[in-house]
Chains A and B, each alone.
Chain A
């Protein structure tokens, strides 16, 4: 596997956040206000896309990821063979599966930064808990999606 492009500190923070969420969930001891169940803690920030066409990583501009504040992320896109992809159409959505709601904003990939990096603007999480963010990617290498789990 390629070595992760994401800073180690974010991985640590994400891990801590995941533990915090799990601990709070353990404390909850019963039904909460919001629907659904908490999924398992897959917190990778470098992933192969669903059909194996791309390797994708995400890097927020501020760590730990703040709640209630707009942030920018850098998404790095390689083909599965490690070639950086600069020309691609990338859309983003997501939400909290256990709450049944989407993201509080409509983040967008606004421009390519070169060397496979893409700027994602308008990212925001308005509460702690388990979030997913999903990118749909279209380039000459094909159409594919990738989903990241975020624990806040």
Chain B
């Protein structure tokens, strides 16, 4: 009896859904969506975003003084090897905290596309390959990368001591004595700097590394406040759920609505682009082509998983404020297997239409190209793509792109943290 009820209900729901597809664009005044579809739409709306819990690994994450310090560090080009690169060089505050380039340029050219920052405090994994597990650990990676900031942790500790001592010590306590610490020392690629680091006593190394970790924690306290704002799509969903008449701020065009229907239906975009940030926070090989320029071999999560587990600044590290039981994402991470090969993190789609080029190395220049990629599902250059082709007419491709445009919204940064006139840049 139950099975027969299920069968009848499934058939019924399917017919209702099919009916909704056929008349969706001509009905007005009543919801165009089935209850199942409305539940999906609700899950994608920003009003459903999960509350941001405390970051157990960063006890300063919600400290306003740490955030204000982090904001200034974020824009400070002294935190680089050549005095010209700050976090904001690639994470441009007026451009969704990204740079619009296929490959990021710091002191040199990197091998990956800059990722936006808004909402990343919700994510268990940072970077395209998830090689760190917190915003503060993420912030530390580029600072010592030879092609990004190109500096080292001893140099940064000196910058903090000379430029930010009072503010740093108010938040993190007394700085160590840096008298005998070299100007340049750190476990970086540069052999001279690395040698200087190796000559330092272990205790001094740990003290400097702790200052370095605190730089990351301050930057994370700032970045944590950068959130996606309401888009027209969110207002549309709110109005649909309330049964309210649409306003110009909430209305979708016929094409946009059809694109949304494809997004949550036949095109199956919502499989991975789910939740209010439109990402499943996981890693997938989608057969993205190799970059046009020659770059080092890139295995994505296969390497990132190993790096985060062994990470110097991960959730279970001595520099983390978390207890081991607070680190379940790390404890239970998948660290090997063919599915990790050339798998990259599903990016959020918020503001996606203003954020070309696309993919982890900016391989695809436009959303047209992205939709064509997912429609044709080419074989992966290596590893195994999870995709199979989906037939989309030219009109349907246009509709999907139109819908993606409705996901654009402001980036919300609290007053005082907006970075409109970064102090360290205006001083220069």
Question: A residues engaging B (CB < 8 A)?
Answer: 15, 18-20, 22-35, 41, 67-70, 99-108, 121-122, 124, 126-129
Which of B171-179, B213-221, B263-271 lies at the binding interface? B263-271
Partner of B333, one of A20, A28, A105: A105
A25 vs chain B, min Cβ distance (A): 8
Residue B94 lies at the interface, judged by CB distance under 8 Å to chain A: no
Which of A101, A102, A121 touches B328 (beta carbons < 8 Å)?
A121
Asked if B36 CB lies within 8 Å of chain A CBs, one says yes
Partner of A68, one of B18, B280, B387: B280
| B339–A33 touching, CB < 8 Å | no
Contact of B10 among A26, A70, A103 (CB under 8 A): A26
Residues of A within 8 A of B388 (CB): 31-35
Specify which chain B residues have a CB less than 8 angstroms from the CB of A128 in the assembled complex.
270-271, 274
Pairwise interchain contact A28-B334, C-beta atoms closer than 8 A: no
| Residue of B whose beta carbon sits closest to that of A15 | B6
Q: Which residues of B contact A69 (CB under 8 A)?
A: 50
Do residues B6 and A18 form an inter-chain contact, with CB atoms below 8 A?
yes
Q: With A and B bound together, what is the CA distance between A20 and B34 in angstroms? A: 11
From the candidates A19, A32, A35, A100, name the one contacting B6 in the complex (CB within 8 A). A19
Which of B39, B332, B333, B391 has the largest number of chain A CB atoms within 10 A? B332
List residues of chain A with CB within 8 A of the CB of B17.
23-24, 26-27
Distance in angstroms between the alpha carbons of A9 and B328 in the assembled complex: 27
Interface SS majority for chain A:
loop
- Interface residues of B, count at CB 8 A: 46
> Smallest distance from the beta carbon of A66 to chain B beta carbons, Å?
9
Complex: chain B residue closest to A19, CB-CB: B9
- Are A68 and B274 in contact, CB atoms less than 8 angstroms apart? yes
Q: A30-B266, A104-B282 are in contact. Are A23 and B387 (CB under 8 A)?
A: no
Assuming A105-B334, A127-B280, is B274 touching A31 (CB within 8 A)? no
Q: Which of B236-272 contact A (CB under 8 A)?
A: 265-268, 270-272
* Known A24-B265, A99-B386; further 19 A-B contacts with Cβ < 8 A: A18-B6, A23-B14, A24-B40, A26-B14, A27-B14, A27-B17, A29-B266, A32-B271, A33-B268, A34-B271, A67-B274, A104-B282, A105-B333, A121-B328, A121-B331, A122-B332, A126-B282, A127-B274, A128-B271
- Cross-chain contact A28 with B332 (CB below 8 angstroms): no
